């Protein structure tokens, strides 16, 4: 109803990405970021969708932006893990997930169901990480 409602663009982007409509998802994430360009969740979602769409350079720019933001505010390693998972850079994604475990990031228990990590679920390190968190 309100085209400037950033959260609606974010949520719609997530749905579109799960439907495999990556370009549409990217557009929604960008619309949401127009109002809040430094929104960490929006940036992470954008980077993940770009990575899945084969736009590695753009996704790496998002990682750089998150790194810059981390100089002014907290940015969890989890966010970078999400983008690397989208790139299918499994080792890097797991490295960053382990860093987020070490920081006790509160979203980490959701890795077992988060669609961003479905490509990691058969990896030995992912299974070990899940076990260390008490997940099945």
State the DSSP code for 117. Answer: G
54-90 tens-digit pLDDT: 999 999 999 999 999 999 999 999 999 999 999 999 9
The Cα 127–Cα 67 span in angstroms is 27
> What pTM did the predictor assign?
0.94
The Cα 98–Cα 100 span in angstroms is 5
Domain boundaries, the chain: 1-75, 90-136
14-34 tens-digit pLDDT: 999 999 999 999 999 999 999
115's tokens: 């669609």
**In 3D, which of 38, 101, 46 has the Cα closest to residue 74?**
38
> Which option is the CATH number for 1-75: 1.25.40.10, 3.40.190.10, 3.40.50.1820, 1.10.260.30?
1.25.40.10
Per the CB < 8 A criterion, the answer to whether 127 and 96 are in contact is no
């Amino acid at each position: 109803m309100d085209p400037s409602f950033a959260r609606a663009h974010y949520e719609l982007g997530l749905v579109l990405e799960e439907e495999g409509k990556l370009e549409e998802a990217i557009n929604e994430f960008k619309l949401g970021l127009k109002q809040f360009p430094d929104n960490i969740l929006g940036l992470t979602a954008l980077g993940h969708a770009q990575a899945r769409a084969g736009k590695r350079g753009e996704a790496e720019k998002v990682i750089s932006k998150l790194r810059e933001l981390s100089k002014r505010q907290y940015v969890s390693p989890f966010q970078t893990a999400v983008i690397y998972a989208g790139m299918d850079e499994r080792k890097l994604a797991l490295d960053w997930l382990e860093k987020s475990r070490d920081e006790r990031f509160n979203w980490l228990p959701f890795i077992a169901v988060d669609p961003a990590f479905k490509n990691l679920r058969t990896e030995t390190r992912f299974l070990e990480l899940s076990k260390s968190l008490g997940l099945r």
